[in-house]
Every structure is written in structure tokens, then in C-alpha cells.
Amino acid sequence: QFGEMAAMTHGVGGFQAIELNLSCPNVDDGALFGHDAQLAAAATAAVRANTELPLLVKLAPNVPDVTFIAKAVVSAGADALTISNTLPAMTIDVEKRKPVLGGVTGGLSGPGLRAVALALVYRVVQAVDAPVIGVGGIFTANDALEYILAGATAVQIGSANLADLWAPFNILEELRVYLEQRAITDINQLIGAAQAKAQVT
């Protein structure tokens, strides 16, 4: 079915890339593609066979070793990895004495996810030769820079958009100011800089 959906983009304008979401904590049933290297690779290969567009594969954070999954999907044709999806979580209304969400659990995103996703990005960058897009709790330029320093070549802004539709533009401007103040002419100079320091010390 992943392959069939990818095929639907043939001849349709407006698509720049396809992001294959292999984990969704808001769904109760279905195969846990993002938790099994073989299933993840099979889903990736099915999409790769049905599109020439760049293929980004979004990975789950709650797996024993994300690097196994990362290696499997890159081998199956992923052009880049998006790390990471949300964590399964819940909250309870103490007055009503029941879960707040209709589906009981949902995905934890925002600042609570950032430290987890950042650690995953750091590890995956060491394990695979593919661009990594960092995502999870990016609300400021500092948040974005943490991912970039960990090795991410790009970042996604998600939850911050719900709080402020101007968030991506504000973060971009903050990044410009940060670079100017430090006389950095190319942000690419910062990609993985924390990795290099970690290896030296």
C-alpha cells in the first residue's frame, strides 16, 4: 500500500519529495513498520520502486537501537532520514478520571521530545551516510542549532507552528543573527561540529 500511494504521485505536479512515516503513535492497530528493520526496509523499497522523487523516511524514537532501522532503510533506498517521530504518551483528567485523548494515548511532541530526538540524530549520523533531518521540539534558533551541531543537515518545525505561525520565520531570522554575530558565512560549517569535538576530546 505504501508503494501504491507513492505511485499516485506520478504525473502530478507540486511534489518536491515524499516523506514515508514509518511510525504513528496515534494509530492503535496496524504493523509497527518503524520498529522492525525488515518491515521498515520493505516499506521503503516499495516506495522507492514507485517514485523517482527524493525519499525521506521518518523513524520512530522508541526502538531498542535506531541505527539498525536507519541502516536498513538507507540500504532499501531512502535518500534521507527524518528523526524523529513523536513518543507514545498520555494525560489524564483527574476530575473526570479518564484519559484526555479520545484514543487514550497520542504522540508526545514539543520540547519534551527534543532531548530524545537530538540523541537519536547524534547516533544515526555516526551510523549512516545519508542526510538527517532533525525534528522535535524546535521553537528557537538555539533548538535548531543543537540538531545541526549534532549532525542534522536540515530541521523541521512542527509543534511551534501550532503556537505561532510565524515561528519558522522567526527561527530563521534568529539563525541569521547568530551567524552574523559570529562571522559565520555558511551554516554548513556547523553541521556535525559537536560530533567532531566529541571525537577529539
Predicted pLDDT of residue 35? 87
- C-beta atoms surrounding 82 within 10 Å: 26
pLDDT in tens, 29-55: 555 778 899 999 999 999 999 999 999
Predicted pLDDT of residue 106? 87
Q: Which residues pair with 55 in a beta bridge?
A: 18
Residue 81 contacts residue 74 (beta carbons within 8 Å):
yes
Predicted pLDDT of residue 34? 82
Helix or strand holding residue 5 (H, E): helix 2-7
163 counts as catalytic: no
- C-beta atoms surrounding 195 within 10 Å: 15
Strands (DSSP E) along the chain, which ranges? 18-21, 55-58, 80-83, 87-89, 92-93, 98-99, 106-108, 132-135, 154-156
Q: Which one, of 146, 131, 136, 130, lies nearest residue 193 by Cα?
A: 146
- Catalytic annotation, pick one of 5, 24, 89, 157: 24
Tell me the whole-structure pTM to 2 decimals: 0.91
Q: In 3-state terms, what secondary structure has residue 87?
A: strand
Residues in the chain with pLDDT values less than 70: 24-31, 196-201
